[in-house]
Amino acid sequence: MAVIRRRKQPEDEVQQHPDPNPDEDDDKEEKASKKSGKKNKSKNYSCLDNCCWFVGCVCSVWWLLLFLYNAMPASFPQFVTEAITGPMPDPPGVKCLKEGLKVKHPVVFVPGIVTGGLELWEGHQCMDGLFRKRLWGGTFGEVYKRPSCWVQHMSLDNKTGMDPPGIRVRPVSGLVAADYFAPGYFVWAVLIANLARVGYEEKNMYMAAYDWRLAFQNTEVRDQSLSRIKSNIELMVSTNGGNKAVVIPHSMGVIYFLHFMKWVEAPAPMGGGGGPDWCAKHIKAVINIGGPFLGVPKAVAGLFSAEAKDIASARALAPGVLDSDLFQIQTLQHIMRMSRTWDSTMSMIPKGGDTIWGGLDWSPEEGYCPSKRKPGKNDTEISTQNESTSQECEATRANYGRIVSFGRDVADAPSSEIERIEFRGAVKGHNVANNTCRDVWTEYHDMGFGGIKAVAEYKVYTAGEIVDMLEFVAPKMMERGSAHFSYGVAENLDDPKYGHYKYWSNPLETKLPNAPDMEIYSMYGVGIPTERAYIYKLTPAAECYIPFQIDTSAKDQNKDCCLKDGVYTVDGDETVPALSAGYMCAKGWRGKTRFNPSGIKTYVREYDHNPPSNFLEGRGTLSGAHVDIMGNFQLIEDVIRVAAGATGEEVGGDQVYTGIFDWSEKIKLKL
């Protein structure tokens, strides 16, 4: 309505223009009076008239433009881009085709968390008419139309971690499951398009879609997803003349596929019963893209206070709802309640404890700052770069090991000066929440003031203590989580307890399969500040709210800041720190180690982030960001080469920009 009203005004003005002119003529006053009567009528008429006229004009212009747009040759935008930025490089698919590369190995994509589409198969009444429509992925239209219904359907049962009664939301299958996350926002589409140039098609590309909300083993229990992947890989290998598959997991798909490799060789009731040489027979290479092998600190912030700063988490999807001041915190709580029912989020809690992530006073990355590299400086030598950045950062030594600190001063203080009060075993106060909050289920309400205080007074949490802290804060959630995931480091890998599926997705508690010809790649972007540690504060009004919040006032003055908005950052791909993505391939699995008894070859390939130089390039062809790297030409070319039969050495072996090997040396892990 507002729009219509506004539009009336200009028309009145237009109408008034002709009025003064006849009034100046003195001879025809009668006519004027008559005219004015007429005018009044015509005024009313013209008012509406003009209103419609305006709309009509806008519409016709719009149609004309639409027509022109449609009549335009399809290559026109590309032509414009080329005219402005100069000729584009050949896309990697075309380049490889010209070199004569051909389809050899079938390719399997394993999508990560949140990128896979989910559709409705059975729902409550409020979801009528949405049968087999996407609830997740696609346009997200329903989030805005009926948010509470949507939250209800996207949540899982908080006891079992499976479907709530009467609701069945299932993963979309096929390549469409994760080619685009939202219209125009590609995930796998660019890679698929380039592989297709070389000759790939659906018979030798397979999207291993699974319900990313479930714990990994539950995807098998409910949907038989793991069996499905096994059967499809077997089919593709046998129909492609026995050429082994190249598996390309992304993000959480990396640890999902780690789980799969253990599952498929484990005996039948718990595993897939494929026999101890299944991987050796069916897999040529695993090309991990941006894999959080050792977890991501971001997951901690997400679980602790629903504050991950990233599209990869539920929050970013609902900005309209979130940004309304009135409901802000309430919305966050709803999202928290929803995402806490997703067991899979717990697969990404940092693993390996203090050994990997650093203790109170040390961390593998210290003395290194995520420098802002200038774009187009690909040929800079690695060593010089490292030196320069480390010099800059020597002054500010961030204690990355303290993943969560309460207050800026605590984060900077030497460990001896911090007074910590043990929180484990602290008595939780009775429920502070009054009745109005009852319907929003987060476990903070069961914790009470006493519990919240106790958590804040421990002051600093390292990776080892994070799990205990989460167990204190959200016991029900962690009960489900610890049944499906484990976050430790194995002392003795031959301990029979490691036959349980909860260890399968933790690279520090499993052995790689016995497949000496297999190759494992770790490909990830670097050059973007990535969340590594947080400074928290208590929220003042702690009644209906989430009691903890990132202290966004904590900042560094330094330009090359490591601390910004209460978050300490290191080098990485914006979501996964380079350490987590690279360590296993750089050291943990390098050569014959106890984690890699058959000596599978590993390669670390980093891709330096170059932001797109202008908006015409979209998300860029040299990006290193967590999702955008899927459109990185260099990475795509590497993938195509491997799929066409190249080995890791032929592709170029290691390619490193960060100090990943230095950091790995600092980690004292028995190998």
- Which are the catalytic amino acids? 251, 573, 626
Q: Are 234 and 108 in contact (CB under 8 A)?
A: no
Q: Is the Cβ of residue 179 or residue 606 nearer to other proteins in the bound state?
A: 179
Interface with other proteins (CB under 8 A), residue from 1, 5, 13, 17 = 17
DSSP state of 652: T
CA distances to 18, 34, 219 from 29, in Å: 16, 9, 87
Interface with other proteins (CB under 8 A), residue from 37, 89, 166, 174 = 174
Contact partners, residue 451, CB within 8 Å, separation at least 6: 426, 427, 428, 429, 472, 473
CB of 320 to other proteins, least distance (A): 17
Q: Is the Cβ of residue 14 or residue 421 nearer to other proteins in the bound state?
A: 14
| Element containing residue 122 per DSSP (H, E) | strand 118-122
Q: Is the Cβ of residue 12 or residue 495 nearer to other proteins in the bound state?
A: 12
Q: Can residue 18 be called a binding residue for other proteins (CB under 8 A)?
A: yes
Hey, which residues does 603 pair with through a beta bridge?
A: 521
Query: Near other proteins by CB under 8 A, which window of 190-198, 386-394, 414-422, 645-653?
Result: 190-198
CB of 75 to other proteins, least distance (A): 7
Interface with other proteins (CB under 8 A), residue from 16, 29, 37, 64 = 64
Contact partners, residue 66, CB within 8 Å, separation at least 6: none
Interface with other proteins (CB under 8 A), residue from 173, 385, 415, 647 = 173
Q: Can residue 270 be called a binding residue for other proteins (CB under 8 A)?
A: no
Site for other proteins in 476-515 (CB under 8 A): none
CB of 31 to other proteins, least distance (A): 11
Q: How many CA atoms lie within 13 A of 189 on its CB side?
A: 13
Contact partners, residue 491, CB within 8 Å, separation at least 6: none
Neighbours of 83 (CB within 10 A): 9
| Element containing residue 448 per DSSP (H, E) | helix 444-457
| Element containing residue 650 per DSSP (H, E) | helix 648-651
Site for other proteins in 117-146 (CB under 8 A): 121-122, 128-129, 131-132
Q: Is the Cβ of residue 25 or residue 556 nearer to other proteins in the bound state?
A: 25
Q: Is the Cβ of residue 234 or residue 354 nearer to other proteins in the bound state?
A: 234
Contact partners, residue 323, CB within 8 Å, separation at least 6: none
Interface with other proteins (CB under 8 A), residue from 16, 33, 238, 614 = 238
Q: What is the DSSP string of 47-110?
A: HHHHHHHHHHHHHHHHHHHHHHHHHS-TTHHHHHHHHHH-PPPPPHHHHHHHTT----S-EEEE
Q: Are 143 and 317 in contact (CB under 8 A)?
A: yes
Query: Near other proteins by CB under 8 A, which window of 225-233, 283-291, 339-347, 459-467?
Result: 225-233
Query: Near other proteins by CB under 8 A, which window of 14-22, 353-361, 554-562, 653-661?
Result: 14-22
Q: How many CA atoms lie within 13 A of 120 on its CB side?
A: 24
CB of 243 to other proteins, least distance (A): 13
Neighbours of 394 (CB within 10 A): 11
Q: Can residue 616 be called a binding residue for other proteins (CB under 8 A)?
A: no
- Whole-angstrom distance between the N-terminal and C-terminal Cα of the chain? 70
Q: Can residue 94 be called a binding residue for other proteins (CB under 8 A)?
A: no
Q: Can residue 193 be called a binding residue for other proteins (CB under 8 A)?
A: yes
Q: What is the DSSP string of 293-311?
A: TT--HHHHHHHHHS---ST
DSSP state of 11: H
Site for other proteins in 34-63 (CB under 8 A): 49, 51-57, 59-61
Query: Near other proteins by CB under 8 A, which window of 189-197, 392-400, 404-412, 432-440?
Result: 189-197
Q: Can residue 203 be called a binding residue for other proteins (CB under 8 A)?
A: yes
CB of 143 to other proteins, least distance (A): 15
Q: Can residue 9 be called a binding residue for other proteins (CB under 8 A)?
A: no
CB of 51 to other proteins, least distance (A): 7
Contact partners, residue 201, CB within 8 Å, separation at least 6: none
Contact partners, residue 338, CB within 8 Å, separation at least 6: 151, 154, 155, 314
Q: Can residue 361 be called a binding residue for other proteins (CB under 8 A)?
A: no
CB of 188 to other proteins, least distance (A): 11
CB of 392 to other proteins, least distance (A): 45
The footprint of other proteins on this chain (CB under 8 A) covers a number of residues equal to 52
> Cα 328 from chain centroid?
22
Give backbone dihedrals phi and psi of 240, rounded to 5 degrees, phi first: -105, 35
d(CA 345, CA 447): 22
Can you tell me whether residue 584 is helix, strand or coil?
A: helix
Q: Is the Cβ of residue 52 or residue 421 nearer to other proteins in the bound state?
A: 52
CB of 175 to other proteins, least distance (A): 8
CB of 122 to other proteins, least distance (A): 7
Q: Can residue 471 be called a binding residue for other proteins (CB under 8 A)?
A: no
Q: Can residue 316 be called a binding residue for other proteins (CB under 8 A)?
A: no
Q: What is the binding site for other proteins (CB under 8 A)? A: 14, 17-18, 21, 24-25, 27, 49, 51-57, 59-61, 64, 74-75, 121-122, 128-129, 131-132, 168, 170, 173-176, 179, 192-193, 196-197, 199, 201-203, 223-224, 227-228, 231-232, 234-235, 238-239
